Amino acid sequence: MNHLFKALTLALALGTALEASAQDPLAASLPTQQDSRLQQVATSPRVWNGITVSQDGRIFASLTQSEGSGVQLAEVINNQLTPYPNGEWNQWQAQDPEHHFYHVNALRIGPDGNLWVMDAGNKGIGTGDKAVPGAAKLVSIDLRTGKVVSSYVFKAPVLKETSYLDDVRFNGDFAYITDPGARGLVILNMKSGKSWRALDDHPLSIDHLPIYADGKKLYLRDGREKRVGLDQLEVSPDGKWLYYQAIPGPLARIGTLYLNDPSLPAAEVAKHAQKVRDTWSTGGTAIDANGNIYASDLNTRSIKRIAPDGSVTTVIQDPRLVWIDAMWISEGALWMPSAQINRTPATTGGKPSTVEYPVKLYRLPLPVSPSLRDHR
């Protein structure tokens, strides 16, 4: 009888373990040991999803609205969030959408040394929210004066009803902007001010797969699977290629000469998109001067490096790297904001937040240099 009881107990335990594994398929791969190379450099009382660092060490952050409204763009000073460029820009005014932030989702210091800010113009992807006319814009701020020096506002037909202008990269006179809301790419000629679309609903732009973080599938507040198409992007250091992917991959690329010519038919441009390799659920990417792409792995709390030949190596794995979002490369370091997006109600089917505050910014010393094509 004892043997039978033990056998039944073992069978039940095994069954439970198998069931847990099916629900949480990658939990066993989460790290438990901290890497001594990882340096904590700043904290925030609100969730941030992107950071950028100036050459003189100033840190700026974009703050998501996943945990409630508040400051959207801030300079991080002594772990305090100072609204940038001022409080007025950070207070939405529906009657003046072009001069107030609606939903900042990305930022970066461009090759000109200015701070560039991407206002998505929409509050959600796949949530039923619609783009607000006049709110979707790319704003440039002179860091020496703190003044807005230029702003590109996107309107129909480039801006679609479901558009969510997510992130931006630069290449000479051109800016490339991902639009996962409408599952495509926006190209802006910053010299002429004209913009156009490419790769809309292309097989390499759409959300084929669900998103997993810490081994758990993500869900919108209404219980539907969270899906995000064309999201991350990087420009090769020589400016010839744009790399891009949906959050769960795969990584793709296209020659920038096809994107930069608005006279080319959409079908012709689409022919030149090519898959690079399968990837993983990724929160954010960065590219170095040698063309290596650094991509966070949300399932394993790690950062992986994809070499130009497509080979992959793990740079760091650490239990503190919870949903590393938009990263930044400075001379000799990789900067990583731990956004913990997977712990917010927006990705857990509306469950109460389990974000561990304050959220943190980490720095990893590495023998890297930034790609001057995109930023300095």
Ordered DSSP codes for 197-215: EE-TT-TTTS--S--EETT
Q: Give the angle 184-185-191 at the CA atoms, nearest 5°.
A: 160
Q: What is the DSSP string of 252-287?
A: EEEEHHHHS-TTS-HHHHHTT-EEEE-----S-EEE
For the four alpha carbons of 311, 316, 320 and 324, in that order, the dihedral sign comes to negative
Q: Which residue in 230, 113, 77 sits closest to 166, CA to CA?
A: 230
* CA separation for the pair 103, 64 (Å, rounded): 8
Q: In the chain, which ranges are continuous DSSP H helix?
A: 2-23, 256-259, 266-270
Quote the pTM value. Answer: 0.91
Which residue reads 């814009």 in tokens?
137
For residue 128, the model assigns a pLDDT of: 87
- In this prediction, residue 68 carries a pLDDT of 61
> 111: how many CB neighbours lie within 10 A of its CB?
17
pLDDT by residue (tens digit) across 176-229? 999 999 999 999 999 999 999 999 999 999 988 999 999 999 999 999 999 999
- Do the Cβ atoms of 342 and 215 come closer than 8 Å? no
CA distance 113 to 116: 9
Calculate the alpha carbon distances from 192 to 188, 250, 254, 269 in Å.
9, 33, 23, 21
CB within 8 Å of 21: residues ≥ 6 apart = 27, 28
For 98, the 3-state DSSP assignment is: helix
Q: Which fold has domain 31-365?
A: Neuraminidase (2.120.10)
How far apart (Å, rounded) are the C-alpha atoms in residues 281 and 283? 7
54 φψ region: left (φ > 0), alpha (ψ -120 to 50), beta (else):
beta
Evaluate whether 176 touches 184 at the Cβ level (below 8 Å).
Answer: no
Report the C-alpha gap between 63 and 69 in whole angstroms: 9
pLDDT in tens, the chain (376 residues): 334 333 333 333 333 333 333 344 555 479 999 999 999 999 999 999 999 999 999 999 999 876 567 899 999 999 999 999 999 999 999 999 999 999 999 999 999 999 999 999 999 888 889 999 999 999 999 999 999 999 999 999 999 999 999 999 999 999 999 999 999 999 999 999 999 999 999 999 998 899 999 999 999 999 999 999 999 999 999 999 999 999 999 999 999 999 999 999 999 999 999 999 999 999 999 999 999 999 999 999 999 999 999 999 999 999 999 999 999 999 999 999 999 999 999 999 999 999 999 999 999 999 999 999 988 7
* Cβ count within 10 A of residue 73: 25
Residues 6+ apart with CB under 8 A from 305: 292, 293, 294, 295, 312, 313, 314, 315
Structure tokens at 311: 């080979």
- Cβ burial 152-169 (10 Å sphere, 16+ → b, else e): bbbeeebbbebbbbbbbb
Among 363, 314, 355, 310, CA closest to 335: 363
What φ, ψ does residue 216 adopt, rounded to 5°? Answer: -115, 135
Amino acid at 248: P
Residues 229-260 have pLDDT tens digits of 999 999 999 999 999 999 999 999 999 999 99
Contacts of 374 (CB under 8 A, 6+ apart): 108, 110, 111, 169, 170, 171, 234, 235, 287
